[in-house]
């Protein structure tokens, strides 16, 4: 088993990574302090893993809550249903909430944990690659509002994260590729050597070769943990984790949420950020091509839909911009392994990248 520590003072916790952790009763009980646990999961995960997890808490009162699958469930109504069930079953402040599932389950359960009776013990058991390397690390919790994604939420750190790499065996290929986009992102923004190893091991990763996968999850968690440790509330360096996301969010938004998986949009967003970085003279064309090739080899799209116009894109990115007071801001690449937050990007160069979309699909 591998352990990555997230150092956040009194909010510090360990991320445990290994095969078969869902059967490790002793480990799973380490951070459970009260007499009851409440597990939240989804319809497709429950038949696969819920009984196994429940068995680890034989000594406790265990209640479970199963949500339908999908991003559309990450809303205030799910939040209210979970809180209602906690109250009906008389869970008090000593209870432990456990999220068993992907980022949707992790985000909504985390927000309930942050607010139920002003905050209760929280444990994450992420079961998608994306949630293992990204959403379960760093304490962002949220639900969506009809007027915007993740608009209601809190920073709330779990007491522990348990990543059972065996759970990836049942994950659909498309979801695996989606998680690989965030893995590639970590290499591009923080560690050139890691990027090279991802390039070399892509086939092993896509076939879930255990050592390769465990090493990759560990390195991605380390990178995210070290950035979050420097900037828990995203006032500075944590923004680098948004590499590829300004373009990616525009694709998700313009296509309608759900049409493209988040990681698919981020993969294409990375290719576009690399193209813009090379047009601005920050990286070579051959480095931009390396990034495009690794995104393609992960089974991800490299080109946004040609039906989207340049103006639609720019307008959508302006909306994204409203989250800050700066001008149009991007995370750009200075070298493979080094990224930088750049404000006031030259709009003419941005238009060039958007106009060159077709060439991004070519080899
Ligand atoms: N909190 C953060 O920092 C953060 C970061 C990135 C993304 N997110 C959020 O995460 C969400 C996306 O998460 P996701 O990509 O994990 O999607 P998801 O939670 O929707 O899971 C994808 C699908 O895979 C199924 N599934 C999950 N694990 C499985 C398994 N082991 N076997 C078979 N099927 C399985 C799920 O039921 C679901 O249908 C978005 O809401 C996004 O906003 C949050
Ligand atoms: Zn992301």
pLDDT in tens, 257-267: 789 999 999 99
Task: Say if ligand 1 is within 6 A of residue 245 CB.
Answer: no
pLDDT band of residue 323 (cuts 50, 70, 90) is low
Instruction: Choose among 157, 111, 135: nearest CA to 13.
Output: 157
Residue 322 has pLDDT above 60, yes or no: no
Q: What is the CATH number of domain 2-170?
A: 3.40.50.1970
Above 90 in pLDDT, residue 182?
A: yes
Given a cut of 70, whether residue 308 has pLDDT beyond it is yes
Closest alpha carbon to 100 in 146, 49, 145: 49
Quote the ligand 1 centre to 262 CA distance (angstroms). Answer: 9
Higher-confidence residue of 351 and 318: namely 351
38 three-state secondary structure: strand
Minimum mean pLDDT range among 140-154, 160-174, 298-312, 349-363: 349-363
Pinpoint the residues of the chain covered by CATH 1.20.1090.10: 173-361
Average pLDDT score over residue span 197-221: 97
Confidence class of residue 327 from pLDDT cuts 50, 70 and 90? low
Q: Which atom of ligand 1 is nearest to the CA of 142?
A: 1
Mean pLDDT throughout 61-85?
97
With 0.85 as the threshold, say if the pTM is over it.
yes
Residue 326's pLDDT is 59
Q: Compute the distance between CA of residue 243 and CA of residue 329 in angstroms, rounded to an integer.
A: 11
Quote the DSSP letter at residue 251.
H
- 173-361: CATH superfamily: Dehydroquinate synthase-like - alpha domain (1.20.1090.10)
* pLDDT at 324 > cutoff 60: no
The sign of the dihedral angle between the CA atoms of 105, 122, 59, 24 is positive
CB 305 within 8 A of CB 357: no
Please say if the pLDDT value at position 227 is more than 80.
Answer: yes
> How many Å lie between the centroid of ligand 2 and the Cα of residue 263?
6
Q: Where in the chain is the domain with CATH 3.40.50.1970?
A: 2-170
Answer whether residue 362 shows pLDDT above 80. no
109 lines ligand 1 (CB under 6 A): no
């Amino acid at each position: 088993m591998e352990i990555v520590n997230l150092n956040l003072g009194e909010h510090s916790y360990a991320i445990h990574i290994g095969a078969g952790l869902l059967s490790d009763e002793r480990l799973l009980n380490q951070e459970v302090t009260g007499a009851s646990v409440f597990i939240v999961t989804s319809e497709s995960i429950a038949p696969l893993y819920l009984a196994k997890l429940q068995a680890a808490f034989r000594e406790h009162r265990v209640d479970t809550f199963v949500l339908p699958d999908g991003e559309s469930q990450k809303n205030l109504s799910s939040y209210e249903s979970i809180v209602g069930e906690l109250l009906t079953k008389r869970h008090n402040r000593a209870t432990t909430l456990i999220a068993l599932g992907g980022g949707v389950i992790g985000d909504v359960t985390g927000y309930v944990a942050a607010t139920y009776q002003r905050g209760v013990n929280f444990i994450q058991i992420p079961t998608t690659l994306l949630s293992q390397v990204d959403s379960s690390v760093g304490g962002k919790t949220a639900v969506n509002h009809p007027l915007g994604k993740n608009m209601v939420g809190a920073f709330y750190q779990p007491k522990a994260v348990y990543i059972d790499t065996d759970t990836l065996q049942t994950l659909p290929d498309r979801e695996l590729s989606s998680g690989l986009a965030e893995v590639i992102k970590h290499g591009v923004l923080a560690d050139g050597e890691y990027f090279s190893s991802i390039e070399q091991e892509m086939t092993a990763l896509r076939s879930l070769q255990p050592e390769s996968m465990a090493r990759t999850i560990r390195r991605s968690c380390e990178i995210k943990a070290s950035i979050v440790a420097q900037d828990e509330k995203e006032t500075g360096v944590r923004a680098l984790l948004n590499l590829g996301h300004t373009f990616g969010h525009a694709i998700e938004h313009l296509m309608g949420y759900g049409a493209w998986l988040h990681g698919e949009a981020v993969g294409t967003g990375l290719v576009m950020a690399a193209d813009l970085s090379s047009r601005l003279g920050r990286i070579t064309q051959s480095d931009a091509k390396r990034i495009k090739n690794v995104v393609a080899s992960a089974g991800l799209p490299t080109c946004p839909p040609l039906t989207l116009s340049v103006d639609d894109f720019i307008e959508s990115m302006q909306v994204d911009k409203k989250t800050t007071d700066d001008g149009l801001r991007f995370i750009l690449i200075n070298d493979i392994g080094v990224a930088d937050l750049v404000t006031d990007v030259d709009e003419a160069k941005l238009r060039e990248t958007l106009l060159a979309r077709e060439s991004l699909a070519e080899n």
